[in-house]
Amino acid sequence: MVTITLPDGSKREYPQPVTVAEVAASIGTGLAKAALGGKVGTGEAARLVDTSHLIEHDESLAIITDKQAEGLELIRHSTAHLLAYAVKTLFPEAQVTIGPVIEHGFYYDFSYKRPFTPDDLAAIEKKMVELAKKDEPVVRRVLPRDEAVAHFKSIGEAYKAEIIGSIPAGEDVSLYREGGFEDLCRGPHVPSTGKLKHFKLMKVAGAYWRGDHRNEMLQRVYGTAWATKEDLQQYLTMLEEAEKRDHRRLGRELDLFHIDEHSPGTVFWHPKGWTVWQEVEQYMRRVYRDNGYLEVKGPQILDQGLWEKTGHWDKYRENMFVTESEKRDYALKPMNCPGHILIYKQGIKSYRDLPLRYGEFGQCHRNEPTGGLHGIMRVRGFTQDDGHIFCTEDMIQVEVQAFTTLLQKVYRDFGFTDIIYKLSTRPEKRIGTEESWDKAEAALAEGLKASGCDFEYLPGEGAFYGPKIEYTLKDALGRPWQCGTIQVDPNLPGRLDAEFVGEDGARHRPIMLHRAIVGSLERFIGILIEQHAGALPAWLAPVQVVVASITDAQADYVQDVVKSLQKQGLRVQADLRNEKITYKIREHSLQKVPYILVAGDKEKASGAVAVRARGNQDLGVMPLQSFIEKLQGDIADKR
């Protein structure tokens, strides 16, 4: 007798071993039809299995359908195999390598004699549809490692044979077959290809075998797969909207910045883009000033010996730019923390000086691989709104609460209200006592709770020296961006001998809280551009107002209006060109200027302006002073 315990706590008994599919069928035909797999066991011991999995002993079981996240993962994993099946059907000489699930879909790497074309991609997708409609069963079998190697060598799949050959001798491996295609895989998979209905191939890119540039360049075919037609269409629509919002394209169209081959991974800011940068930086500088931070500035280059002492040389050497002068080795700083400790150490610090909050717009350099660079989102040279708080263990909770509340306000001002909070706790390999970890983790959790935040724990994801909170904002398209963080670090102050004199007269190590709100300014500005589709709010817009004349007769009046606006600290341009006013309005609308003021003879005579707001809104004619008050209200309210 086998007893199956279902998620609702109910139990079902079977006279003999039973498959997941048979359990689903015993519950109902609807569930049997919807079943994609099963989850056996509970807690950390739970694992996904095929519907053909045989349960021979009493077990907990959840039937997995496309309603659960695990079901969607099964669909995507199986669709990757369907892709390989289609490629092998159309291009028998192609060799298959690996095909994992990724966010929103999957990819599969192939070795083939020529690059796949867009027409090839369309043909492969069409073949996938045909194969899925056959509803062929996906069947699992197990072979000894050496037998599996021989099998794949015999069918000309050298890459698969190499993968299996790296598995320890004596182990068994599982293979999955659908129709005429068989692939190495741990599984599980959907029971038949007919379960795969809503997918699309997206693009082809290059990828080195095993990620090593010394190996062959393979062809990586990306695809997406979803549980329903509606989910697929929603995702594709989101991608179309994301393309419109792509900060790289908008950066060119709005003349904000460019990336140049003469300095890959760094940003050339144009006047308009640098204006946006300055607004973000000056805003964050006010945040520093108004919240007890002392702004500091450290050098770009620091001695190699310092990086060795902090431990960064061992961990980050490959990502550091190094240089030499007078037989002494240096590195461009990849982060600002050591410099802040060196500043802290100048002079004796007392417990009365704590908490001591330093902030820096520190320029850092990291030698990111070329393939990982992405516009201004991921660069080699970047500036952080970097802050470090030196405090005692008892101060952590209050500092975390204050920081979280401050971060929420900053994100609101920039137009982000949806924030995800994650608390990463102690990893298996760590330093410090259990008591210190207990206190640090509790302080972070209580700080979040006091700020009214719902959060999730990420067990084991903390740094080796302390726990941390990650703050992830969601943009207008629902995409997550992890920007903010606060990390507890008792380690680095000790490595660099930072101390303070306690109330007891003895010397103690401070706790160092690493914190950032926007993180990399380059990346954050890229996020802002995409969040607002280039139509930045008035307080951030590089040009807030354009004043346009209808004819040459209003030129002097337009110049007077411009001067009046400039005296109010507004960013304004005049457009006196001999062009039709409709042309001027259209051109500045495409540049996403928040307000266009039109001046004709009537406006000149009355000292007024005709106001057009972004989005083709005609606000009518108003006195210039009324418009100034309106715009100043927009700026003050961050509208």
Active site residue 453: no
Q: Would you call 220 a catalytic residue per the annotation?
A: no
The widest CA-to-CA distance across the chain, in whole angstroms, is 97
Q: Is 391 an annotated catalytic residue?
A: no
For the record, the structure tokens of 147 come out as: 């037998």
Sheet containing 37-40, strands listed edge to edge, beginning at the edge strand earlier in sequence = 11-14, 2-5, 59-64, 37-40, 47-49
**CB 173 within 8 Å of CB 59:** no
Q: Which of 88, 82, 24, 13 is nearest to 50 (CA)?
A: 24
Are 471 and 485 in contact by the 8 Å Cβ rule? The answer is yes
Beta strands (DSSP E) in 186-317 are: 198-208, 217-226, 257-258, 268-269, 293-295, 301-303
Helices 229-245 & 521-531, crossing angle to 10 degrees?
A: 120
Is 374 labeled as ligand-binding?
A: no
384 has catalytic annotation: yes
Q: Residue 51 belongs to what H/E stretch? A: none
Out of 151, 195, 349, 388, the active site residue is 388
| Long-range contacts of residues 271-275, Cβ cutoff 8 Å, at least 24 apart | 271/542, 272/542, 272/543, 273/525, 273/542, 275/542, 275/571
From the list 384, 397, 487, 591, the catalytic residue is: 384
Q: Bin 346: left if φ > 0, else alpha if -120 < ψ < 50, else beta.
A: beta
Q: Is 636 helix (H, G, I), strand (E, B) or coil?
A: helix
Catalytic pick from 195, 197, 349, 468?
A: 468
Catalytic residue among 66, 183, 385, 386: 386
How far apart are the C-alpha atoms of 331 and 315, rounded to whole Å? Answer: 14
Catalytic residue flag (residue 186): no
Please identify which of the residues 366, 523, 532, 612 carries the catalytic annotation.
Answer: 366
Residue corresponding to tokens 């924030």: 419
d(C-alpha 256, C-alpha 320), whole Å = 28
Given the residues 189, 198, 200, 337, select the one marked as catalytic. Answer: 337
The amino acid at 439: K
Q: Which residues, listed in sequence order, are joined to residue 139 by a DSSP beta bridge?
A: 177
User: What b/e sequence results for 204-237 when a residue is b if at least 16 CB atoms lie within 10 Å of its CB, and e otherwise?
Assistant: beebebbeeeeeeebbbbbbbbbbeeeebeebee
Select from 34, 27, 624, 519 the least CA-distant residue to 284.
519
Q: Read off the amino acid at residue 560.
A: D
* 468 flagged as catalytic: yes
Query: DSSP for 190-213?
Result: -SBGGG--EEEEEEEEEEEGGG-T
For tokens 């410090």, name the residue: 432
- The verdict on whether residue 588 carries a ligand-binding annotation is no
Known active-site residue 337: yes
Q: For residue 560, what are its two tokens?
A: 């007077």
Token code pair at residue 391: 């405090």
| Distance (Å, whole) CA 86 – CA 77 | 15
User: Is 213 marked as a binding-site residue?
Assistant: no
The single residue of 127, 160, 312, 514 carrying the catalytic annotation is 514
CA end-to-end distance (rounded Å), the chain: 67
Q: Which residues are annotated as a binding site?
A: 337, 388, 514
Q: Which residues are annotated as a binding site for Zn(2+)?
A: 337, 388, 514
Active centre residues (catalytic) = 337, 366, 384, 386, 388, 468, 514
